[in-house]
Amino acid sequence: MHEDMRALLNAYLDGELHGWRLLEVQNHLTSCESCRNELRELRAVSDLLRAAPLPEFTPAERFAANLALRLPRRPLKAQLQRGPSLTWWLAPLALMGLWFFVQTLIWLTTVLSLALSGGLLGESFSWISGSAAQSNLFAFLMNLFGGHLGTATQSTLSLLDRLVLFGNSLINQWFWQAIVALLYWLWMAVWWLRTRGRAFLPRLARA
Amino acid sequence: MALVKTVDTELGLIEQAQQGDRNAFGELVRRHYESVVHVVYRMCGEVQLAEDAAQEAFLRAWINLPSFEPRANLRNWLYRIAVNAALDVLRRKSETFVEDEETLMVSDQMPGPEETLIRKEQVELLQRALRNLPEASRSVLVLREYGELSYQEIASVLDIPIGTVMSRLNYARNRLREVLQSHAQEMENAHA
């Protein structure tokens, strides 16, 4: 107990103890003369250290002027950072370009599909749409069982297949856009962390 | 309000200096020179060594400034660099280091009653003892006594756990306390 308290005397002297630990040391000091003496001696050491006078130094103005003569023209790391920063700023531009490309592709596909289904393009582009709006899996199942599937089963399979086709189409349309958007937000988050966020993170971690 | 303005101005200076603005960096040097040179002087114990270490510290700060987070505490960052610079300067000069009697002398402006003389002697003794402490303990003690940093700040500056700060500080102050005790004992024996 006594040794534990002795180890805390410096922290007590420096005002670094709080709460129950502070009370514990204060209570111990009222009853322990040895610790009171030690605290007094530690305080004397601290006072004597701080009482040591300082000599004359070069004035700040002259020191700064002398230092300016020795400074390299620019911080070396700033020069190194200039290269990557261009690449860094190209990232959102590239993502926007990718998004524009995906949008154009989807738009063209939709227009072509509508034109095909409306018969506006005749037979010249029939290779694009295929012969039927059925998935490979559905065609495989039908071939496997020949024509032996019941009508109800065929209808259910057909409905499921259409749902799968709808899902695929949805994924094709939205998947790439979602990826691009996600990458863009990721870039924004990293940018924020690099510029302002790092100052707040330690505070959040301490909170 | 004035404090906020000062902080903002310093932030602006740091950002300008990070872009390579030498004038902005010069202003930062003028603002922090005194506290930096005082801390390194306590590490080195000699004016010339302290100014060499301070110069080296600010040169390193200039070079590494782009990696500094502008909203962090610049003074503490400079202390970290300065303590390392002081230790490097001391290591380089260790073979030729001769204690500068002029700087080890306590100011003669203190008048001369016996108690004051004893105190001057104790102050001088402790400054010598401080310079004989191991580097690790000396750094912690100097940052506490002369840099006036909290334990948390010292831990951050020296990149050590807060428990290590406490143990090194305990060691350093107890060592100096022993020096004072043995000196008092010698004085008693001499008078006996």
pLDDT digits (tens, 9 = 90+) for B146-190: 999 999 999 999 999 999 999 999 999 999 999 888 888 887 787
Query: Least CA distance to A58: which residue of chain B?
Result: B51
Q: What is the CATH number of the domain that holds B113?
A: 1.10.10.10
Average pLDDT over residues B119-126: 84
Q: What is the CATH number of the domain that holds B5?
A: 1.10.1740.10
Query: Least CA distance to A195: which residue of chain B?
Result: B69
Q: What is the pLDDT of residues A148-162, one digit of tens each?
A: 667 777 777 777 777
Domain around B72: 1-98
Q: What is the pLDDT of residues A81-131, one digit of tens each?
A: 544 566 777 777 888 888 888 788 778 877 877 777 777 766 665 555 544
Residues of A in contact with B52 (CB under 8 A): none
Residues B135, B168, single domain; the answer is yes
Give the tokens for residue B171. Answer: 């060691």
Residues B92, B111, single domain; the answer is no
Residues B47, B127, single domain; the answer is no
**Structural domain spans, chain A:** 2-69
Q: How far is A20 from chain B (nearest CA, A)?
A: 18
Torsion sign, CA atoms A153, A159, A163, A169: positive
CB neighbours of residue B122 within 10 Å: 21
pLDDT, residue A134, reads 60
Q: Is the Cβ pair B51, A63 closer than 8 Å?
A: yes
**Helix, strand, coil percentages, rounded to 5, for chain B:** 80, 0, 20
pLDDT, residue B97, reads 47
Sequence-distant (≥ 6) Cβ neighbours of residue B154 within 8 angstroms: B140, B143, B144, B147, B165
- B163 touches A at CB < 8 Å: no
A57 vs B19, B51, B72: nearest CB: B51
Residues B3, B43, single domain; the answer is yes
Report the percentage of chain B scoring pLDDT > 70: 84
pLDDT, residue A110, reads 75
Q: Rounded to whole angstroms, how far apart are CA atoms A205 and A200?
A: 9
pLDDT, residue B146, reads 93
ipTM of the complex: 0.80
Give the tokens for residue A85. Answer: 């920063």
